[in-house]
Amino acid sequence: MDINITSVGQFIFINIIVTMFLTLKFARGNTNNLLLAGFYSFLLNLLFFPASWLYCWYWSRKHNAKVNDSPCD
C-alpha cells in the first residue's frame, strides 16, 4: 500500500481544525482561559491526535459551571 505524505498532512490538518473547533465550542462558558484550552487541543493534535479527541470529550462532558470573573465574590 502506497501512502502519500501529503494526504497524511491533509488528514492531520483537517483533524486539527475539527477538534479545535469542537473543543473551543464545548469549553466556552466553562473556563476562564479559552486560549489555553485551544492550545492544549492543538498540542495534543500534534503529539497524539486520539488524545485530542479525548480532551474534546472531556470538555463536552464537563457540566456548565458558572465562571466567576469578578474578584469581589
Domain ranges in the chain?
A: 19-61
Rounded Cα distance between 64 and 56, Å, is 15
- 24-60 pLDDT, tens digit per residue, is 999 988 888 889 999 999 999 989 888 999 999 998 8
Could you identify the residue written with the cell 503529539? 47
CA dihedral 65, 49, 54, 40 (to 10 degrees): -30
**Section 67-73 average pLDDT:** 58
- Predicted structure pTM score: 0.75
